[in-house]
Structure 1
Amino acid sequence: MTTTTDFRTPATAFTDAVRAEASKLWSLPATWLVLGGTLALTIVLSIAFGTSANIGPDQTVNILDYGVTAVTWTQCGFFLLGVIASTSEYIGGQIRTTLIAIPDRITWRLAATVALVPITFAAALLIVATSITTILLTTGVPIAEADLDVAARIIPSAAGYLTLMAVLSSALGLLIRKAIPAAAILLVYLLILSPLLQGQNWYFLPDIASYTLWFASVPDTAPPAIASWAVVLAWTLGLLIPSIIIANRRDT
């Protein structure tokens, strides 16, 4: 009988697992359909908001707020991306192949999370920057007249938030293991419940807290940025950690 020994170090094995998970995510057609659709919808909504904003070239008040308004709706795409990233494992028995390749479930879930982050962050940077640029072009406000320092805060902050929400939704998808119920829960919250709660100053909710991070105008009642980041991160870890623990205890 011939046996094989894995001489890889834990770090090398984890790196290989991240590469494998990234390759799977890149190869999913749904990944690019969701991201492409999110980008297209962001442009369409930004044009609609820009043409109805009645902002002239000499009027830059809140122009960056208009710039990210579309993202408050199209962030749904990043939640869907996270759900797809985790629930795709349970379509066609892919989970069995994955566990053969990466028997340690904790390593598998950590690797899948790490693989999701750079893809999501890069896509989020592009979409947020495109949203702002589209608003500037639609309203006729020159880029030089926008507050570039504020834009430099808004774009990475929004991208960071969207990335964490993709991780959160991936954890929820892993807990439920079915794409439609997980997506339905998230979309009902984002499209129905959250808009109803906007005026309540419920900054303990992740999306409402995040608006203080990636809008140019921040209400006086808003918490400091560090508190808002703490809320977003707490929600993310609050779902991610249990999802990894439960996944580790399941049979498949």
Structure 2
Amino acid sequence: MVRAELLKIAGLPSVWVAAAIGLFAPALLGVVNLRAPGTDPDAGYLELTVGVVGALVLGVVTAGSEYRGRQITTSLVCVPSRVRLLAAKTAALALTVAVVAVPASIASLAVAGTLSAGAVPRIAGVTAYWVLSALLAYGITLVVRSGVLPLTVLILNSSVVSVTYLLTRVTPWATYLPDLAGAHLFIRETNAPIELGAVTGGLVMAGWTAAVLAVATVVFRRRDA
């Protein structure tokens, strides 16, 4: 089933555009923002917080495509169990995003001159951040049944104006919102009012993602196709 969902994802033209954005945008931003080696501990990583836009698009498109042209009806005929269908789609999305995140990270760090064996844990953090971001976008899209709203809000928040970061100026508890908490997986200087460890930040983001996916699963099971 996962293989079938991977093929379904690969058949969407917008997926290839999103993958290209995620793969190449961080490195290109790195070229534009090139810094002297050793001057910034987050060189090459900050650009990956923008490259996550590609992962967000992948998440939204994977869920939203089911409601375009009544594809969901065909999917449920082939796989009557909604939970199994959702599990397969979720696994396929996570794998797809991870496959994009790793080379994107390597390319971005290579441009910044910070690629080394010691970067492996932080690359793993980037990959986890991208996968969790994609799953959040995917879950929200399943709930609202449309990709327009989540795509607009999430992309604006990640690339134009970080509303979640602005909220930290109002209350430090905003640090525990998923994108800000998850950034601690690989960013060392976040300027957040509450500094979280990489593990803590990852667990907070994973908790948000699990909650959204749980709601999406309940809604997906109970709602008419």
Calculate the TM-score normalised by the size of structure 2: 0.89
Aligned residue-pair number: 220
* Cα gap change, 1:20 to 1:233, in 2 (>3 Å): same
Q: 1:18 and 2:2 equivalent?
A: yes
- Cα distance in structure 1, aligned partners of 2:199 and 2:65: 34
Residue 125 of structure 2: aligned partner: 157
User: Could you tell me whether the CA contact under 8 Å between 2:165 and 2:180 is conserved in 1?
Assistant: no
- Cα distance in structure 2, aligned partners of 1:85 and 1:187: 16
SS at match of 2:133: helix
Residue 196 of structure 1: aligned partner: 166
Q: Over residues 69-128 of structure 1, what are the superposed CA-to-partner deviations in whole Å (9 max), with x where a residue is unaligned?
A: 111122112111100000001111111100000111111111110111111111111111
* Cα gap change, 1:224 to 1:38, in 2 (>3 Å): closer
CA drift at 1:197: 4.0
CA drift at 1:147: 5.9
Task: Pick one of 9, 13, 18 that aligns with 1:34.
Answer: 18
- Cα distance in structure 1, aligned partners of 2:203 and 2:165: 22
Task: Pick one of 173, 197, 218 that aligns with 1:245.
Answer: 218
Residue 153 of structure 2: aligned partner: 185
Gap runs ≥5 in structure 1:
1-16, 137-142
* Cα gap change, 1:76 to 1:194, in 2 (>3 Å): farther
Q: 1:173 and 2:141 equivalent?
A: yes
SS at match of 2:176: coil
Residue 38 of structure 2: aligned partner: 60
CA drift at 1:29: 1.4
Residue 81 of structure 2: aligned partner: 104
- Cα distance in structure 2, aligned partners of 1:68 and 1:93: 39
Gap runs ≥5 in structure 2:
none
* Cα gap change, 1:109 to 1:82, in 2 (>3 Å): same
* Cα gap change, 1:89 to 1:221, in 2 (>3 Å): closer
CA drift at 1:216: 4.1
- Cα distance in structure 2, aligned partners of 1:168 and 1:85: 12
Q: Between the two proteins, what is the percent identity of the paired residues?
A: 26
Moved over 6 A (4+): none
SS at match of 1:92: coil
Q: 1:206 and 2:174 equivalent?
A: no
Q: Over residues 182-206 of structure 1, what are the superposed CA-to-partner deviations in whole Å (9 max), with x where a residue is unaligned?
A: 2112123333213424666532112
Residue 29 of structure 2: aligned partner: 45
Q: Give the letter aligned to residue 185 of structure 1.
A: V
CA drift at 1:240: 0.4
Larger Rg over CA atoms: 1
